[in-house]
A and B are shown apart, each in its own frame.
Chain A
Amino acid sequence: MFTAKKVLLLISPGLLFLVIFQLIPLFSIFMETIQVGGEFSLERYGDFFKDPYNMNIYFRTLRIALISTLIAVTLGFPTSYFISKSNIKKRGLYIALAVFPLLTSPVVRSFSWIVVLGRQGLVNNFLTSLNIIEEPLSILYTEAAIIIGFVHLFLPLMILSLVGVMENIDHNLVLAAESLGASKLKAFLKIVFPLSLPGVVIGSVLVFCGSFTAYTTPQLLGGSRTRVMATLLYENARTLNDWTTASVIATIMILTTMAIITVINRGAKKLNPKG
């Protein structure tokens, strides 16, 4: 009884704050999207997906997030394994070098890719000076540019999630497997890989949801030519003042994020019934 009172006293400011400023605003924009003329209707969602322009952007956003996640796992897994096997001093340095970009402003990090990929950028100047190309390539404002930006933005999160899990793998298990006749590769595939899966799952959720909803990178590297859901939401709300469409986009983004988290977590449970 006394505990309940104390708990209520302690959490009520936080609870009220989140209910008033998060739950109610989100709920109110959701309610707008399922009503047409005061009656329940899913018409607005139908309208949104009937438009090929919107459909295109929705699937582009999903595609970009999926490819970015796959690349981040591919680059992150070997790197994290290397970091987790290195000695403590070096490991500290590698983690610091991964944390540094993470704490650097996303505007700075995306902008750095404009300098690398732009018309007068590193890639184009290098290729033209070698006479490989005559005209500078247009890499900016494409899906590829956004994907490069996302991998750069979220790879540190993947590396940190994986290193955290890999560090805790008991190396004696690998030694035991090898002493029982398993090859290095087999020991890796049968022991290190499955035990790292929780890290892959956490990392993938972070990268996928991050890429699906990020604003800065697609704004700078995709521009108005390659819109994604986040920049489309911004355009509808702040440029076109089309609040209905904006609310529909916002709700679709939340529902998709939730669905993705559920799917990845379910998949992870199937892969690892014990976890």
Chain B
Amino acid sequence: MNETNKFLTFFTMLVYTFLIGPLVIITVTAFSGESYLSFPPESFSLQWFFNIFQVDMFVRTFRVSLEIAVIGTVLALLIGIPVAYALSRFDFFGKSILSNFFLSPVVIPMVVLGYALLKFLVINMGIPYYRGLLIGHTIVILPYVVRVISSSLMNFNYTVEEAAMSLGCNRLHAFFVVVLPNIRSGIIAAFILAFINSFNNVPVSVFLTGPGISTLPIQMLSYVEYYFDPTISALSVVLMIITVIIMFAIEKTLGLTHFAK
């Protein structure tokens, strides 16, 4: 019994070293004093952190990524909350087909969606890249929104809503004063998940960025193609710090264990 446990503990530690190790290594190289990437570095400096702000494209694309993620997430919430409410509140014909349809963007390969939007919207219809990018991101994050909001609506007791209506509230009013405040943490969690998925997205964005418009991950990809210095490591450290902050936000609203469901 003890021996199998020891082996299992050791195995698990190895797996976690594999998962976290590369992220630790990339962090070390961010503080390198060398002008090329190597591990272990021979000297240390903070120059690469300053270099992030010297590269104008990083600052600019960071802003674009932020903008697309916020607008896309708000759009997905505006579309997704009514859908989630309809799916969990009412019984109607074709409900399971519709619910699958709203989750379908998960099974469509993201590169294919990105390509289809490039071909159909940008090339054939002449819609600008920026709008295509926004639409693509909204589609990708919509299933997260629908799923997270649906699961918090499932825990909501609709008799409270009915009580409000029997006391003279109309349905719309009851939704805003009774239902919405009760699923607040679900909405915050959906916002955070949708935001991070949009902010990190590559496969859709790579097709929908064009002249003058790019996102941070795409800019990082093309930087790596031409330069091999620790700037990307420094930028990675900044992004990982943001990830940690986001994880604390998720833990406060939804609980991280939600991921294991």
On A, residues with C-beta under 8 Å from B are: 3-4, 6-7, 9-11, 13-15, 17-18, 21-22, 24-26, 28-29, 75-76, 78-79, 81-83, 91-92, 94-109, 111-116, 118, 120-122, 125, 151-152, 155-156, 160, 163-164, 167, 184, 209, 212-216, 219-220, 230, 233-234, 237-238, 243, 246-247, 250, 253-254, 257-258, 261
Partner of A184, one of B4, B18, B86, B200: B4
Looking across the interface, which residue of chain A has its beta carbon closest to that of B236? Answer: A108
Residues on B with C-beta less than 8 A from A125 are 38-40
Q: What are the interface flags for B31-60 relative to A under an 8 Å C-beta threshold, 1 for contact and 0 otherwise?
A: 000001111100000000000000000000
Contact partners of B163 in chain A: CB under 8 A? none
**A117 to B203 alpha-carbon distance, docked (Å):** 23
By a CB distance below 8 angstroms, the chain A residues around B220 are: 105, 107, 111
Inter-chain CA distance A219–B91, complex, in Å, is 45
Show 7 A/B contacts (Cβ-Cβ < 8 Å), sorted by A.
A22-B104, A96-B251, A100-B20, A101-B20, A112-B26, A250-B112, A254-B112
Quick one: which of B8-29 are within 8 Å of A by CB?
Answer: 8-9, 11-12, 15-16, 18-23, 25-26, 29
Is B240's CB under 8 angstroms from A108's CB? yes
Total inter-chain residue pairs, C-beta < 8 Å: 258
A18 in complex: contacting residue of B11, B102, B109, B243, CB < 8 Å: B102
Q: Which residue of A lies closest to B209 (CB)?
A: A238
Looking at chain B's contact residues, the main secondary structure is helix
Excluding A108-B240, A184-B4, 20 further A-B contacts by CB distance (< 8 Å) are A11-B83, A14-B80, A22-B113, A26-B112, A28-B120, A28-B124, A95-B260, A101-B20, A103-B196, A107-B200, A111-B26, A115-B233, A116-B25, A120-B37, A209-B109, A213-B203, A215-B203, A250-B112, A254-B109, A254-B112
Q: How far is the CB of B160 from chain A (nearest CB, A)?
A: 19
Q: Is the Cβ of B221 less than 8 Å from the Cβ of A18?
A: no
Known: A254-B108, A261-B107. A122 touches B202 (CB 8 A): no
Q: Is A106 in contact with B202, judged by CB distance below 8 angstroms?
A: yes
Instruction: State whether B243 touches A104 (Cβ < 8 A).
Output: yes
**Given the contacts A22-B108, A155-B15, A246-B115, A118 and B22 also touching, CB distance less than 8 Å:** no
Q: Are A112 and B39 in contact (CB under 8 A)?
A: no
Residues of A within 8 A of B260 (CB): 95, 160, 163-164, 167
Shortest Cβ distance from residue A49 to the other chain B in the assembled complex, whole angstroms: 18
| Total B residues in contact with A, Cβ cutoff 8 Å | 86
B226 is an interface residue with CB less than 8 A from chain A: no
Interface positions of B from 145 to 168, Cβ below 8 Å from A = 146
| A217 vs B78: C-alpha distance when bound (angstroms) | 33
Q: Interface readout for B187-230 with A: 1 if CB under 8 Å, 0 if not?
A: 00000000010011011001100000000010011001000000
Docked complex Cα distance between A111 and B256 (Å): 26
Say whether, besides A17-B138, A184-B1, A214-B203, A24 and B243 are in contact (CB < 8 Å).
no
State A104–B105 Cα separation when bound (angstroms).
21
Inside 8 A of A26's CB, which chain B residues have their CB? Answer: 108, 112-113, 116
Q: A18-B142, A216-B221, A219-B221 are in contact. Are A253 and B8 (CB under 8 A)?
A: no
A97 touches B109 (CB 8 A): no
Tell yes or no: B121 within 8 A of A by CB: yes
Q: How far is the CB of B209 from chain A (nearest CB, A)?
A: 10
Q: What CA separation (Å) do A151 and B18 show in the bound complex?
A: 10
- Given that A18-B139, A105-B217 are known contacts, is A3 also in contact with B202, CB under 8 Å in the complex? no
With an 8 A cutoff between CB atoms, is B141 at the interface?
no
Please, how many angstroms separate the alpha-carbon atoms of A253 and B110 in the complex? 10
Contact of A213 among B11, B112, B240 (CB under 8 A): B112
Which of B8, B98, B112, B257 is A78 in contact with, Cβ under 8 Å? Answer: B8
The reply to whether A78 and B139 contact each other, CB–CB distance below 8 Å, is: no
B107 and A209 within 8 A (CB): yes
